[in-house]
Structure formats: C-alpha cells, structure tokens
Structure 1
Amino acid sequence: MGPMVDSHLAILAGISLSFVAVKALRWFIKKRQNIPSLPPGPMPFPLLGNVLSIDTKKPWLTYTEWRAVYGDLIFVQILDQEVVVINSQHIAQALLDNRSRIYSDRPYLATLKPYGWLVSFAFIGYNDEWRLCRRLFHQTFRPKSVVRFRQMQIRRARDMVANLVSDPQHYHSHFATFSSSVAMSTVYGYDTSTRNDPLVEIVINAMTGLAMLTPERAIMLKAFPFLLNVPDWCWGSSIKRSAQASSKHVNEMVNVPFQHAREHMADSSQSSMVGENLRRMEMQDEASKPMFETSLKKAATTAIVGSYETMTSTLMAFTLAMVLYPDVQKRAQAEIDSVIGRDRLPMFEDRASLPYIDAILRETFRWAPAVPLGVPHATSSADLYDGYFIPKGATVVCNTWGISRDEKRYPQASHFIPDRFIDVNGLLTDDDPAEYIFGLGRRICPGRYAADTSLWSAIATMLATVDISSAKDDQGKTIDFTAKFMVGVVRYLASP
C-alpha cells in the first residue's frame, strides 16, 4: 500500500510541478514579448482551473472575498472558460458602459436551449435579433411610456394588500400574483384574477425551470452533452427529464398569453406591448412577419420573466427587512401619516414628499440584490484596461453583491439602514443602487423604470395599510424562524 500511495503522490507532484513550469514559461514569454498580463487572480489548477476554490452555490461570496486579495478586477479560470469579475461600480461603468461595443455579447450557456430559455432575449447574443427585441421592448417600457401604467400599478398593489389581509400566510403567492399581474397587463393587456389566475399559474410553472439554469448545471451539460439523450433508467437522466418539463412549461408561457392577446385585440380596452405591435405587424409585408412575431414573443416573455423573478424576490426581501428592523417600519409609517394622513392611500403624486419610502426601496435593492452577479456579459473582441489584457470571448461578470457590500461605501453593509440614502437635510442622496442593480451598458434591464414604479407602489401601499411582523403561535408567542435563500439565476427568500 505504501509504494502505491507514494507513486500517486509522485504523479500528483509531477503534474503540479509541470503546471507551474508551464505557467512560469508562459509568464516569461509574455514578459519578453511585452504582452500585457491578465488581471490578478488565484492560481488555477490544471484542467479544473479555479472551480474547486469557488462556492458554486453562491459564487458572489467567493468573488467578494477575493476582492480584498486581488482587487476590483479579477481573472478566474473555470474549467476552459476565462472569466473576468468586476467588483466595483467604477470599473463596471468604465467597461460595460463606456466600452459597450466590446462588452455587450452573452456567453454560451449549455442549459438555455434544452431548458427552453432561448425565448428570453436577455440571454441571446448581441446581434440583429437582439436589437429588434430590445426596440420592441423599449417602445413600451421607456420612461415616458410607463407613466400610463401607474393607475393600474396602484390598483394591483391595493389588490395585493387585500389578499395579504385576508390570507397573510400565503404572502409569497400574493407577491407573485402582483408581479405577474402588472406584467400581464402591460405586455398582453390581460386583467388577471386577484387569486389563482390560470395564466399566472402558467408563468409560475415555467419559473421552476429558470431556477435550474445554475452555473454548475451549465458546466455539466457543456462537458457531458450526452446526458440529454440517456435512457430514463440511466444515471443522470434527471437532467434530461427536467429539461423536457422546463421546455414544455416555457413553451406554454410563451404561446398561451400571446394567443389570448391576439384573439382579444379588437375588444381590448387597454394598450399593451403585444397588442400594439400585432397591429403594426398587420401593415408589414408577409416575408418579414415571421421574424417580427418571433422577436415580439421573445420581448414579451422577457418582460414577464423579469417582472416575476426580480419583483417577487425584492418584495420578499422587503418583508424580511420589516420583520427584522421594526423601527424602520415605524418610521416609514410615521412619514406616511404625517404627509398623507390616514384618510387615503399613497399615490405617485406623493412620492417626492416621501423620501424615506424611497430610501427603503433603495436599501432593499442594495441589501438583497435579486441577481447578485447580474446576467454575464461576454467580450466580442480583446481589450486593454488599466494595463490588463482582457481576452476575446471572456465571460465578464459584474459582482453586484460585492458592490453592494463594500464597507467603505456602505458601513455596516450587512445591516438594513435606509438612512444611508438620506442626507443631513432629509433629502435623498445621489447614491442610487438602481444604477448598478439593474445592470449596465447596452444590456441594462430595459424594464427598470416599470419595475421601480411597481415596487414603490407595492411598498408604499403595504406600509400605509398593514403591520409586518413575525408569525405568532396560539399562545401569542413569536415563532422563531431562520431566513433561507434559494439561489439560481435569481437569489430569493424561500417561502415557508
């Protein structure tokens, strides 16, 4: 046994030394050729790269820890994929905003096609199809256009509160219904039921597949694509079955509400993204209609998915914060009472007079970013930044979590402190996490203005009408709980 172990150790040592020698040789050659070095980062292992050093469930935590060692721009090797991690808003703006021509592509994800998620233009590459989808989306959700949705958003927020009062136990379901109903109205012109709406149920079913688009699953399918074809009785077939189920649900989410909007174009009393563009499509030549309709479906699906995932997650985080920080809730309610009184509910016209409510929204964005690493970008060509070489085809990740947890910028960053966004005069500061929470560059979330107003209407209405606290048992004692977050593309608080 001893000689065998020694021989194994010798082999491992030989491999490690060879790898170090190769790395040293490459470094020496680059120095001789005056080729700029890659950004700093941890030393990778042969073949595996840095994958063993990263928390695959919560990689943003690893990248945030590495910032203290390697800085705000880090190079990481994950198997054969080169990854550049951005840990500061300044660098993110310098690259993703100011050099958006290079940083607007998307990396290949092996999970997208089998799980049916190429229907979201948020994931597709930077090309003509993406530009058409983006234009269709922007027409409906640009700042001037979203103003027309405000009355509907307030009405839906009040429906949500009514559900919370009558059935407080299922608060997650009420948040999901609110998020979906706002999106269904703006995208398809569809008025959802306040509870158990069939089209909302279709969206919720499809969202289970989005949670499966984890980095480790993508890496596994990229390395072992045959897993999508193995027999059902074989080990690993669960990936194939989950992909098939996801594709079925996503296909239903794409087509059922779209068909509903098409059938009710004539009798719909409200404007919507799909309804308006279907009318435009009728005036186009027959050759261009198929591509236009496909792009419209992708734009519509992206709006529904983005609204459901991020808004529901943010409302869950807000609710948790109000339970953990009751003094914040009391101060917000006092502000509403002093400005509005108790004879009516908040309206958008009151927003400028309620700075603390906006500070709570900003702090919710910062404290619990729904997408901690954003959606990854990819470089379409090589680049140089601050003396560092960034390769073509590299995956570029903006560590939103790390930016929001910067102790120099946000002291006691793990605590929920809305006052950090209020100045000495009681006004909002210039620091708005929405400037990085929704992404940057040409791939910034195009629905951010509607999301902002929807979330404000929900939070302001909740604070004006209900007290949010921990559940109590039959004896009136507080039930202890531990907040658990689920992770995938979106990080969200698990409902009990």
Structure 2
Amino acid sequence: MLLLPTSLLDNPGYFVVIFAVLATYLRSIIKWRARARGRPLPPGPPRLPIIGNMLVMPKWKPWLGFRELSDKYGPIMYMEVFGKPMIVLNSPDIMNELLEKRSAKSSRRIETPLIPLAGQAFNFAFMQYGQWWRSHRRMFWQHFQPAKVSDYWPVQREIIRKFLAKLHDTPSDLQRLIQYNVTAATMKVTYGINIDEDENKWITVVDDAFAGLRVVTISVQFLLEYFPLVRHIPAWFPGAGFQKSLGKARGPSDYMLDVPFAMARENAQGTGSGYSSVVADILSRFGAQGPDAENEQIARNVAAIAVEGGSDTTYSTIQGIFLALSLHPDVQRKAQAELDAIIGPHRLPDFEDRESLVYIDAIVKESIRWHNVVPLGVGHCITEDDEFQGYFLPAGAVLVPNVWSVMHNPQIYPNPEQFNPDRFIRDGKLDTSVLDPASKIFGFGRRQVRPSGPPQVMSDM
C-alpha cells in the first residue's frame, strides 16, 4: 500500500496536480485512439516507458543495425525515442510507395538544430518543403538539367586529363589528386574560378565547410536530436569537443557563401557570350539591374551547395571506385579490354563514348551500389496521419530509407558483398530488369536529385 505524507493528503493542490496529470494522460490516449482508429503501428522492437527504443537504437553504422532489426521485424519497422517516432524502410517497393507515390505527404524535413549548428542553413537539401525550398530547387535545376550539363564538358575534360597525367606520374598522391580534381571542376563550373594543383586554400575551405555537417551526422546526431539543450554546452565542457568542430565549420561555410560568389560576379562583368560560370549565367538572367536581395541569396545558396555537395560526395564516390578496382584486378582487365576494343590506343575516352562503353557504365553502377556514400539517405517527415498495409503511420514520424540495405539485399543483387559489374549486363547490353542503384541513392520523390552530369550533388534535395 502506498503511504503518502499527511501534509500532502491535507493539501487540495496535490489532488489537483494528480487529476491534471491523469486527465492529460487520458486525453492523449483518447486522441491517439481516435487518430489510429484501431490500426496498429508497424512492427518493431518493444518500447520502454519514456525512453522508448533508445537502448536498442543502433549507434555505430546504424544501417547495419537497422537491417538486423528488420530481419526480425520486417521491411517496415517502427521505433521511437523519447516520443519521437521513426519508421525505417528496408524495401525498395515500400520506399517507392511512401516516398515516391505519396511524396505530397512525405517531402518535409525534420525540424532540428543540427543544420544551423553545422553552418548549413543555406543547404536546401535540409530546408522544409515549401516555396523557399522550391525557389532553390528551381534555380538549381535550371543549371544542372540534362540539356545544360554538356556546357560543362570542356571544363571537366581539361581537368580530368590533368588529373590522369598527374596520377600517372605520382600514383601515391591518389587521394589528394581526386580531391583536387573534383573541387577544381566544381569551382570552375560554378564560379568560373581556376584552382591550381598546389593551391590548397579552396580545397581546405570546401572541406572545412562540410566538416560540421559530417560531425553532427556521424558523431553527435543522436545527442542533439533528442537532447537539443546540449547545443548550449560550452566547448570547454568535458565531452563537448564537438562544439569546436561545429564552430570551425561555420566560418568556412560563410566564406563559401560570400567570397567565391563575389569573385564570380566581378569576373562576369564584361564577359561575352558563351559559358563562363553558373553564377554568371544566373546573374545575366536578371539583366543589368541584377537580382533582388532574395534571389541573390538563393543564388548564393545554390552555388555553395553545388560546390560543397559535389566536392564531398562525388569525392567519396570516386574514392570508392578506385578502392573497388584496386581490390578486383579482373574487373580492371575487362574494363581495359573494352577500352582497347572501342576507343583504341590513340585517344582517351570522352563523354560521347559512354553509350558504347557498356562494361564501364556497369562499373559505375556497381560502384555506387557497393559503396553507398549516404547509406540512410536523408530522412523524410510525414505531414499527416496515413495508413499503409493496414498499419497506422502517425504524422511527424520520420521515414528513414535504409538505402544500404536495399543495395545489399541478396534477393535483389545475388552475392551483394561481391563487386561484380556483370550483374548489370545481359547479352552485351545493360540489363534494365536489374534495379538501377541510381533510382535509390539519389533520393526520392520531389526531393530526388538525379545526376545528369557533374558536378554530381549526390544527395536527397
């Protein structure tokens, strides 16, 4: 029997508080039942009071942990931490249904303090779905659509050939040369700025600008998502070293927004017809008066994310390709045989040769399948209560597409751990019956960004 102090029993305010707590609790149950209408939540691990699934939430390489849990609970799995619902998707069909066909309900982003802390408020991949986001997406698409990207081929061709020559002379500098190659191409295309190989300034700025986002998404995302007050902890406090990394990233992010844009604007003045840079093209569309403050800010944001996203994720993807080829010399031999047969020994392959180089194309597909740069994509948020396969999907739940799980599903790709470009080829042509990795790794629905040509912003915009 619960014994209470007499002072509490004699205090009417005590019963008022108890009644208010119980009433609030009962009201929440009634409201939830009215929303759910008897429909169960998707299956998932048992939840503890208050903390929910915090103790079973994967912390390290969560895409692996989510797949293990999915093997037990199914391809659509419900989890919850401190009342925040999450629905993990491990099936391409379910991803298509919830993120493609129902994109009107699933294009919103999570409200989080992570992005401003990382200096990424300009990154429209994390903006809420609405007019501000649409304005960014529209301007971005105008300059990176299929009909436009061939304008950038001369820049890419020049830089790639420099890269190959340097790599031939100093193969031990592979990582540095890849980073230079990607950053130089994106800076030239976007801003018209030339970067010398020995000029580390821009490469460092771009890398530091992305570092903050890398920190919060890998190291402290859980802490900041579910305990947002920790963002106010000073950097000197034990365990708060992430604050130094975040602070270090905000300066370069601001620099990327302002300095190269100003340089591109100055360089664009007095230029003649023909391609000079994405920024110059944007500014020319507003005439002599130039864009108003809002459109100029959108232009700054779009240019910065084109360089930042392309420099980071494309850089990682190219590293993955080199890793795969170094581990599989048999794939290298087949690729070289195709080049010798179709291109010959007297020239380098070019963009126009892509359709003829079936095995090379298959290597690219297998590389992005085998090595996922963003294995969990970017979470989408359900804007209204919904139902799927008899399950209740509550508004506010975060949909997490486990892209890595799909790309390593043995029922879709037999022997998924094996690097095998031939899985995408049948009768000497690309096999369209095999799931194209590009249909999943570049995002979903209205947020999808398909790479029609570099700079590739491999993300879910």
Give the TM-score of the pair, scaled to structure 1.
Answer: 0.81
Structure 2 gaps of 5+ residues are 1-24
Distance 1:131 1:45 in 2: 40
Q: Is 1:50 the counterpart of 2:79 in the alignment? A: no
Please show how residues 268-307 of structure 1 align to structure 2 within 5 Å. Answer: 268=271, 270-282=275-287, 289-307=292-310
Match of 1:435 among 421, 432, 439: 439
- Tell me the residue number matched to 1:18: none
Please show how residues 89-238 of structure 1 align to structure 2 within 5 Å. Answer: 89-214=92-217, 217-238=220-241
Residues 33 and 401 of structure 1, relative CA distance in 2, 3 Å threshold? closer
Distance 2:189 2:409 in 1: 36
* 2:407–2:413 CA contact under 8 A, matched in 1: yes
* 1:106–1:378 CA contact under 8 A, matched in 2: yes
* 1:110–1:218 CA contact under 8 A, matched in 2: no
Residues 164 and 222 of structure 1, relative CA distance in 2, 3 Å threshold? same
Residues 436 and 291 of structure 1, relative CA distance in 2, 3 Å threshold? same
Deviations 1:355-392 (A, max 9, x none): 00000000001001110011111112121112111111
Q: Counterpart amino acid of 2:447?
A: R
- Tell me the residue number matched to 2:22: none
Distance 1:223 1:93 in 2: 28
Q: Counterpart amino acid of 2:283?
A: L
- Tell me the residue number matched to 1:469: none
Q: Aligned-pair distance for 1:282?
A: 4.6
* 2:449–2:457 CA contact under 8 A, matched in 1: no
* 2:358–2:430 CA contact under 8 A, matched in 1: yes
The answer to which of 249-258 and 131-140 deviates more is 249-258
Residues 330 and 33 of structure 1, relative CA distance in 2, 3 Å threshold? closer
* 1:188–1:257 CA contact under 8 A, matched in 2: yes
The answer to which of 98-107 and 214-223 deviates more is 214-223
Structure 1 gaps of 5+ residues are 1-21, 456-488, 491-496
Identity %: 34
Distance 2:91 2:232 in 1: 42
Please show how residues 435-454 of structure 1 align to structure 2 within 5 Å. Answer: 435-445=439-449, 448-451=451-454
What RMSD, in angstroms, separates the aligned Cα atoms of the two structures?
Answer: 2.6
Give the TM-score of the pair, scaled to structure 2.
Answer: 0.86
Residues 449 and 201 of structure 1, relative CA distance in 2, 3 Å threshold? same
The answer to which of 311-320 and 201-210 deviates more is 201-210
Deviations 1:257-305 (A, max 9, x none): 11111111125563322112222345669xx711111111111122112
Deviations 1:78-122 (A, max 9, x none): 333211111121111112111111111111222211221111111
The answer to which of 158-167 and 409-418 deviates more is 158-167
Distance 1:135 1:397 in 2: 25
* 2:47–2:53 CA contact under 8 A, matched in 1: yes
Distance 1:289 1:345 in 2: 45
Deviations 1:65-87 (A, max 9, x none): 22222222111113332111111
Distance 2:364 2:153 in 1: 17
Distance 1:35 1:371 in 2: 36
* 1:314–1:365 CA contact under 8 A, matched in 2: yes
Q: Aligned-pair distance for 1:180?
A: 1.5
Per the alignment, in what secondary structure is the counterpart of residue 117 of structure 1?
coil
